[in-house]
Structure 1
């Protein structure tokens, strides 16, 4: 979460640098209960964004949505995306950003709640970027699953395995995990392999790295 990158983005949106909000975001992404949904996740998303920036219809708007999409994250809440989107819009409005980009940022963040199929190219990119972790190398994916379990450590193991396997199965059952050709070509095959292995382990009650399986 580079401050110079943030300032450049704010300039692209025709707004003030707003370093106070940048610092608020940094603090949010370093909250102690976060293990995956951290600044590292945002940096990874921005790295993927850089690879597909030329495909975006409104790249600055898409990038801003990525900065904010997990700004509010509480594992016992059902409205993290809504709260994150609201924060983003409130901030952008105060910063003097036009109404259309504000609305687009809100819509892009809300799309990460269900990760469903969208015809809009930028929304498809937003979702694919957020799900890129599914198609990373085996160790990176295992670390991801371990970190998610750490964020939900308050859930009993049996219940967690059941719910987590159900979530992963909803992705595995889709005709395509990714909506854009770029992500399909690079990550689809490995993502399916990662999901298959994770689901099998979860259904057997085995957590990544044998974490607290006893």
Structure 2
């Protein structure tokens, strides 16, 4: 199924679970499709969201609908030149659904989105699962990981250039992630830890020109 169709299907199931009107559901779908479907989205696109939703289907959340809603909205605003994308995405969610979802649940979903900015362990179970789902790509086989890394690179390079990307990717993401005691927070994702660290080290070598790309 094409990514656009799969995304729409997932959204319609969620919108029905949230009892959204057909008009609001379609309006939000159009806004989400426009964001994730932008041609500059090489990784942070519908496929990324669908992969997270597919992974979420096998997990136990305290509030699965709010977790899924957070997944759907967490990258809807994505500008590589800004550092507040997650908070802007959370604000968009609150603005669009303030009259449709109870405040406590809306705060929960927005909080999950905001947490994806720093990926720090939370005292909220659902938040930790979503954070690990977002990072699960790190623990995939190298060819899959490389496609992800190249996608993110393609999103940033037009704005900052090759040299700045290579330096920033290593110093701002790879090194801090490797320095963590645990990349993944929840037990469900712990089996990905070793592969994730191998991939990160391989990417760092690749960025410095010391490793093959496949």
TM-score between both structures, scaled by the size of structure 1: 0.90
1:188 aligns with 2:214: no
Shift in Å, 1:119: 2.2
Q: Deviations over 1:157-196 (max 9, x none)?
A: 22211110111111111111100111112x1111111011
1:97 to 86, 101, 112: 101
Listed as ranges, the gaps of 5+ residues in structure 2 are 1-5
- Which ranges of 4 or more aligned residues in structure 1 deviate by more than 6 Å? none
Q: Deviations over 1:86-144 (max 9, x none)?
A: 111111114x2111111111100000001111121111001000001100111010011
Listed as ranges, the gaps of 5+ residues in structure 1 are none
Matches of 1:3 and 1:34 in 2, distance apart?
A: 17
Contact 2:206–2:213 (Cα < 8 Å) also in 1: no
Alignment of 1:27-66 (within 5 A): 27-52=34-59, 55-66=60-71
Q: Tell me which residue corresponds to 1:87.
A: 92
Contact 1:145–1:208 (Cα < 8 Å) also in 2: no
How many aligned positions are there?
A: 205
Shift in Å, 1:208: 7.8
164 and 58 in structure 1: CA distance in 2 versus 1, 3 angstrom threshold: same
Alignment of 1:23-172 (within 5 A): 23-52=30-59, 55-94=60-99, 96-154=100-158, 155-166=160-171, 167-172=173-178
207 and 101 in structure 1: CA distance in 2 versus 1, 3 angstrom threshold: farther
Indicate the RMSD between aligned Cα atoms, in angstroms. 1.7
Matches of 1:42 and 1:2 in 2, distance apart?
A: 8
Matches of 2:17 and 2:28 in 1, distance apart?
A: 16
